[in-house]
Structure 1
Amino acid sequence: MRQAFSAVSISALLAIPGAGIALQSLGSLIAVLLVFALVRALGMGSDVRIADEAAARALAEEARCGFDPIEVALDRARIGALLRNSAGEVMLIRRHGARFAARVLSSHAGARLDRGFLTLSTEDPHFGSITLDLGERAQVWAASLRRLGVRA
């Protein structure tokens, strides 16, 4: 009896002019809000930045266990960083969506200096290239990358 009453009630609601559109709109609104909540919960779409040198060091350690940087250069916009360890290895960290990706540079062939901007690319085509705004430190880092050699 209760089910019949519910079916009759829904039929009666839908018979009201404009009720079907209102219910569709309400359903769409609820779906959009659920998608919004899911996106926020997953951290998607946020503007992720490297907070400071300590955060860059933590990202380097996460990318490669035991990589202990002695020198760090952060991009002014905090979307990337260069880190050098005591062995002379240089790690490039760049923003990749809502996360960060890192690669150890094997040569200076992908480095291009333009005033305070240093553009870097790696041998990994999926990593892409990034232009870091390092200010006055860009020239120092570009010169130090020459120690890495050139790709064959």
Structure 2
Amino acid sequence: MEIRIRPYEPGDRDAVVDLALRAWEPAHTALARTLGPSLHRRVHGDWRRSHARDVGEDLDSAEAAAWVAVTDRVAGFVTVRLDRAGGTGLVHLLGVHPDQQGRGTGTALTEFAVERIREEGMAVAVIRTGGDDAHAPARAVYERAGFVAAPVVHYYRSL
């Protein structure tokens, strides 16, 4: 399967938002099991709505650059934000359609984003993901790409 990465175009929006929600659903299902449904709702509200908004904001933002991976359709996407003063580039959002996962799309998008960050003269590339089992495949991709994990733990308590 050939993976082509090209700049995001406004006509890609629906496909990108849809695949992002499909890609991130397992993580929210796992997080709801960890936190419990009530606390998960309190912390994340309607996560589909907020994530759709967040993806749309990155796609529309002058602060972020966006690309899509295309196979026979839009199979994934990545957005990058640069902190020129700090010399860092953040791989802000990355998603791969569930039926395209495990086929190299995430790896291709990660490598592509890192190369764009390097071309912009940044000294450090940053990417963030969850530490739960649902995010294990993403962590494996990032570690293979040379990223080093710095564990962070978030604690939540219902009041």
Q: State the TM-score, normalized to the length of structure 2.
A: 0.28
Which one has the bigger helix percentage?
2
Rg comparison, structure with higher value: 1
Q: Higher strand proportion, which one?
A: 1
TM-score (norm 1): 0.29
Larger RCO, structure (CA 8 Å, separation 6 or more): 2
